[in-house]
Amino acid sequence: MTLQSSISQALEMASAYPDNDYSFLSVGNPNSKAVVHLFKNKRNLKNNIIKFLEKYRKKSGKRPQWLKLDFVTDTEEARFEDVKADLINTRRNYVDYGIALDEDWDTVFLPEEINFNAFVRPGKDKKGFILSETNINTYLNKYKRIRGKYSHANMRGADVIKFRTKSFFIENDQVYDLHADGYMKGLRKVDHLAPELDDLICKATDYLGNEIQENGKYIYGYFPHFDKKINFYNNLRHSSSTYALIEGLAYCDKDITLAKKPLEYLIEHYLYEVDGKGHIFDDTKGINEIKLGQNAAFVFAVCEYLRYHPEEQGLLEKAQLVANGILSMIDPDNAQTTHVINYPDLTTKEHFRVVYYDGEAALALLRLYQIDHNETWLKAVQGLFEKFIAEKYWQYHDHWLGYCTNELVQIYPQRKDFEFGIQNVAPYLNYIRNRETTFPTFLEMLMATYHLIQKAKKSGHADLVEELINEEEFIETIHIRANYERVGFFYPELAMYFKNPARIINSFFIKHHGYRVRIDDIEHYISGLVQYRKVFND
C-alpha cells in the first residue's frame, strides 16, 4: 500500500463518522515535534493533504514518517471562563477535547496539543493547577508561528468552541483506527491483544536496557514535555528496575547478562559491608541512608538473575550478605521493622517510611530461600506475616504484599495466608477495575493474586476463594487492566507531539505526572504484562 492509498483508506474510514468541514493533519518524525495543520473545508481534501506533505518535505528535507488525521465530529460553544475552569479541574493531561479560540478557527488546539505541551501545569504553590499563558505562548510562537500574544485577559467574556475528533494514524503506509472516546481516546485499536502486548513488552525492555550507561547506572528518566532529564536517583528503583529488566529479557528470549552491569554497579559503589552484614546505601543529594526496601530490592533482583545464571556464586554471596542486613532491620521478637537507618553509623533514622518496604523485605527473603534453602530467611518471613495479619496489612492493597504472599503459599500453604492474600485485592476490586490512571502496579498485584487463588483451590481452600471474591469479575478485571496498560505506552501517535519523540518512543509513562518516563515506571508495566502473558497466552 502506498502513502496515497493509505490516506484514501483513512478518509474512507472517516466517512462512517459524523463530520463537518474541519480536519487536522499532524506530520511527525522521530527527531522533531509534530507539525499540526488545519484544513477548513472538505473539498479536495486528499489532494490538499498530499500538497501539504510535499511542502513539508521540501521545507524540512525529510519524508514524513508519521501522519495523524483528526476529523472534527461535533462542536459546542462555551464561555472561555467555563472552559478555563474545566481545563484546570480535569485530571492533569486527561483533556479529551480540542478548543478553537475564535469563530474562524484561526487559533485552534487539538487535545494532544493541550495535553502534550503542558498548557495546564502545577501552580507555584504546587497545591493546584493553572492554565499557563507562558506555555501557550511558547507553543504558539515556536511551533505555530503565531506571533500575537495570548492572554487570559483578552479572552475574558469571549465565546470559544469545544470540539471532538475521530482520529486515524498512518505509519509505514498502514492505517490504525484510534479510539474516539473515554479514557482510551487516541489509543490504537488492535485485533489481537496477545501479540500486541508481546511487542510492547519487548520494545519497553529494549528501551530500559538502552538506558544503562557504561558504568552500569541508568539514565533515571525524563519529563518529555520539554525533554528534561530527571536530576535525581534512587538505588531502590535501580534494583527493582533491574529485576523487571531481567523478566523482560527472559520473556523476549534475549541475553540476560545485560542486567549484570547494573547489579555490579551497586556492588562496586553502594554495597556497605560490616560484621557479616551488607547494606545498599544511598547518597543522593547527601542523604546518606540505608532503606529496608533498598536492601530488599537488591536481593530479589540478584535472585532473579540467579534463576538464569546459578553459577554466579559471587552474586549469591552478596545477596546473602544483604539479606543479613535485612534481618538486622527486623526485630526478632516481634517482627517490627526499622525502615531507614543512617549510613555509615547504622543508627535508626526512621522506624517507618512507607508500607511497601515490609512486603519487599519478605519477598526478598523468600526468593533467596528458594535458592539457598536457608531456614533463617523463611523463619523471618513467617514472623513478618504474623505481624501483617495481626495488623491487617491487607488494607494497604500493596502489590509487594501480593507478590510475597503468593510466594509464601507456594512454599508453605496455610489458610490464613490465603485469606490475607485474597483480602489484599477483593475489597479493592471495583476501584482497580474502574481506575482512570493506568496504575501499573495493579496488574502486578492482580497476577500475584491470580496465582495465589489457583494455589488455594489446589490446596483444598476453594470455599475460601468463593467466600471472599467473585472469581469471574476478578478475571475480567485482569483483562481490562492488561489492555488498559497500553494507554501508558508511547506509541508514535503520542510521542510525535513531544519535543523529542526519539527520546521517549517505545517507553511507558505516567500520564498524570506530566507523562513522566522513569525507569521504575517502565519496570512496573513490564513486570505486570510479563506475568499476564505467561498465564493468558492466547
Quick: pLDDT tens for 332-360. Answer: 999 999 999 999 999 999 999 999 999 99
* pLDDT over 80 at 218, yes or no: yes
- 143-200 residue pLDDT tens: 988 877 899 999 999 999 999 999 999 999 999 999 998 889 999 999 999 999 999 9
Cβ density class 252-284: b for 16+ within 10 Å, e for less: beeebebbbbbbebbbeebbbeeeebbbbbbee
**Domain spans of the chain?**
3-184, 255-369
136-158 b/e (C-beta count within 10 Å ≥ 16 → b)? bbebbeebeeeeeebeeeebeee
Rounded Cα distance, 212 and 476, in Å: 36
Mean pLDDT confidence for 456-463: 98
Average pLDDT over residues 8-19: 90
So what's the pLDDT on residue 20?
A: 81
Give tens-digit pLDDT for 221-250. Answer: 999 999 999 999 999 999 999 999 999 999
Alpha helices for 373-512 (secondary structure H): 375-390, 399-411, 415-423, 429-434, 441-458, 462-468, 471-484, 492-495, 501-504
The model scores a pTM over 0.85: yes
Q: Which amino acid is at 327?
A: L
Residue 305: what pLDDT?
98
DSSP string for residues in 16-63? TS---S-EEEEEEETTEEEEEEEE---TTHHHHHHHHHHHHHHHHSS-
C-alpha cell at 409: 503459599
- Calculate mean pLDDT across residues 354-371: 97
| pLDDT tens, residue by residue, 465-500 | 999 999 999 999 999 999 999 999 999 999 999 999
C-alpha cell read off for 465: 476463594
Q: What percent of the chain shows pLDDT beyond 70? A: 100
Q: How confident is the model at residue 19 (pLDDT cuts 50, 70, 90)?
A: confident
Crossing angle of helices 260-270 and 292-308, rounded to 10°: 140
pLDDT at 125: 81
Q: List, for residues 45-75, the tens digit of each pLDDT value.
A: 999 999 999 999 998 888 899 999 999 999 9
Nearest to 380 by CA among 418, 330, 428: 330
Q: Which cell goes with 494?
A: 503520542
AA letter at 89: N
What is the pLDDT, as a whole number, of residue 126?
Answer: 76
Residue 18 has pLDDT above 90, yes or no: no
Whole-number pLDDT of residue 353: 96
Q: Which of 157, 177, 181 is nearest to 169 (CA)?
A: 177
pLDDT value at residue 145 = 83
| Phi, psi at 66, each rounded to 5° | -130, 135
Mean pLDDT confidence for 107-113: 97
Give me the chain's average pLDDT, please.
Answer: 96
